Amino acid sequence: NAGVTQTPKFRILKIGQSMTLQCTQDMNHNYMYWYRQDPGMGLKLIYYSVGAGITDKGEVPNGYNVSRSTTEDFPLRLELAAPSQTSVYFCASSSIGVQQLNSGNTIYFGEGSWLTVV
């Protein structure tokens, strides 16, 4: 039962460095999401994808890039890390969009990636 897998789980970056958070799901879900969770705050959507080759911005996209070349993978790229990007990042997936959810569908979350930029 792999579900949604994120790597790395913990990472410390220096200001200006770049890195990629990896996310993969084995449920053949079309929809994938990246959220960030700041201390004492709720999750905010960074980017999402409705299928391979299609991505769109969420609430807080600045400083990030994504790609969706396959159904399984949805990596999140930080090009020039800044202290404001210190956060916990969650990848998620669902078989259909939130607006189409019914009793048999939900959004599945990964375990999170703790990123600190110093």
Point out which residues bind other proteins (CB under 8 A): 4, 31, 35, 40-45, 48, 50, 56, 58-59, 90, 92, 97-99, 101-103, 106-107, 109-112
Identity at 86, one-letter amino acid code: T
Task: Report the nearest approach of other proteins to the CB of residue 92 (Å).
Answer: 8
Q: Which is nearer to other proteins, 19 or 45 (CB)?
A: 45
Angle (nearest 5°) at CA 106 between 31 and 115: 65
Closest contact distance (angstroms) between CB of 15 and other proteins is 26
Query: Least distance to other proteins from the beta carbon of 73, Å?
Result: 17
Question: Which is nearer to other proteins, 19 or 50 (by Cβ)?
Answer: 50
Strand arrangement, sheet containing 4-7: 4-7, 19-25, 76-78, 64-66
Which is nearer to other proteins, 8 or 16 (by Cβ)?
8
Task: Rank residues 42 and 62 by Cβ distance to other proteins and give the closer one.
Answer: 42
CB-side exposure of 108: number of CA atoms within 13 Å? 21
CB-based contact 36:104 (threshold 8 Å) = no
Q: For residues 74 and 33, what is the distance between their CA atoms, to the nearest angstrom?
A: 8
